[in-house]
């Protein structure tokens, strides 16, 4: 096992959607569809179609592209703002109703990292209101372990651009070698590695459908965290299960 003393790992940077929870399939998709129906817009994304839409990062950007395709003209800013606001309200309601749960092992990993004195941040290009709803409902007091949130409102360019990660590292005042990012998609991996970070892919419903070649630059690809989790690609765990010791092992191996 790699100890904190021998590992350079000082911070963990968590993506949110698909990484902390299956928010895309079970939350955002449903909220988008409800907002479209209320506005009498002839759009409905089933699970497969929504997966295709995820190639466009950012909810507002996703709406704009869909309306452009539907109508042949770009939507005006006011309509986009109304739809995005409605979608966020529906998403928050789903979270509050308990429709979305943390992925297995996430809470335990955050707690273990906090107990070990590691710094932790959320780095997402989702809106702050959506992040707040999820963190408040699903993490409770453990949210205090996340000292920094970088959200969509904080950056001009969204993943796969590295701006969100670069901003997080600047605010944490840490070099890239001192942190690992945890992501679930190729876009997130590209953003993290472009910022100089090592990245672990925790497969999600949609991320798991991508070609594994998209994850070639990841330090490891895992199926969840905890005692029953599996390493799909990457070094074998020196300790049992995919836990904090494994992240420390990966960070030490980067040097």
Structure confidence at residue 238 (pLDDT) = 84
Query: What distances in angstroms separate CA 67 from CA 35, 70, 73, one per listed residue?
Result: 13, 5, 8
Q: Which two tokens stand for residue 184?
A: 């679930």
Cβ count within 10 A of residue 222: 23
Q: Which two tokens stand for residue 2?
A: 């790699």
Structure confidence at residue 57 (pLDDT) = 86
Which CATH number is correct for 11-22+101-254, 3.40.50.1000, 3.30.750.210, 3.90.79.10, 3.30.230.30? 3.40.50.1000
Q: Is 184 a catalytic residue?
A: no
The arrangement of strands across the sheet holding 230-233 comes to 146-150, 119-123, 11-14, 179-183, 198-202, 220-223, 230-233
Q: Which two tokens stand for residue 136?
A: 């408040």
Sign of CA dihedral 15, 140, 175, 180: negative
pLDDT band at 7 (very low <50, low <70, confident <90, very high): confident
Of the listed 15, 26, 161, 216, which one is catalytic? Answer: 15
Cβ count within 10 A of residue 32: 25
- Closest Cα to residue 121, out of 151, 162, 96, 161? 151
Dump pLDDT digits (tens) for 15-53: 999 999 999 999 999 999 999 999 999 999 999 999 999
State pTM to two decimals. Answer: 0.93
Query: Does 24-96 carry CATH code 1.10.150.240?
Result: yes
Cβ count within 10 A of residue 166: 19
> From CA 61, how far away is CA 18, in angstroms rounded?
18
Work out the average pLDDT over 181-196. 97
Provide CATH 1.10.150.240 ranges for the chain.
24-96
Q: With 50 as the cut, is the pLDDT of residue 54 above it?
A: yes
> From CA 80, how far away is CA 159, in angstroms rounded?
20
Q: Is 15 a catalytic residue?
A: yes
Cβ count within 10 A of residue 100: 22
Task: Return the SS3 of 33.
Answer: helix
Of the listed 17, 76, 154, 216, which one is catalytic? Answer: 17
């Amino acid at each position: 096992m790699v100890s904190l003393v021998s590992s350079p790992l000082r911070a963990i940077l968590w993506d949110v959607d698909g990484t902390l929870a299956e928010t895309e399939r079970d939350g955002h998709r449903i909220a988008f569809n409800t907002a479209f129906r209320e506005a009498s817009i002839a759009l409905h994304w089933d699970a497969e179609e929504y997966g295709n839409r995820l190639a466009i990062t950012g909810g507002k950007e996703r709406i704009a592209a869909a309306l452009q395709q539907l109508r042949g003209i770009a939507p005006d800013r006011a309509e986009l703002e109304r739809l995005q606001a409605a979608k966020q309200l529906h998403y928050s309601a789903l979270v509050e109703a308990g429709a979305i749960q943390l992925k297995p092992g996430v809470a335990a990993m955050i707690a273990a990292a906090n107990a070990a004195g590691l710094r932790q941040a959320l780095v997402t290009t989702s809106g702050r209101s959506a992040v707040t709803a999820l963190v408040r409902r699903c993490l409770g007091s453990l949210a205090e372990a996340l000292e920094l949130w970088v959200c969509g409102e904080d950056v001009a360019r969204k993943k796969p651009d590295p701006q969100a990660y670069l901003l997080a590292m600047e605010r944490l005042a840490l070099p890239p070698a001192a942190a690992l990012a945890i992501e679930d998609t190729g876009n997130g991996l590209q953003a993290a590695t472009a910022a100089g970070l090592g990245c672990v892919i925790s497969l999600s419903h949609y991320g798991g459908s991508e070609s594994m070649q998209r994850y070639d630059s990841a330090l490891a690809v895992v199926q969840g965290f905890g005692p029953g989790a599996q390493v799909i690609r990457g070094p074998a765990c020196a300790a049992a299960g995919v836990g904090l010791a494994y992240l420390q092992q990966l960070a030490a191996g980067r040097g």
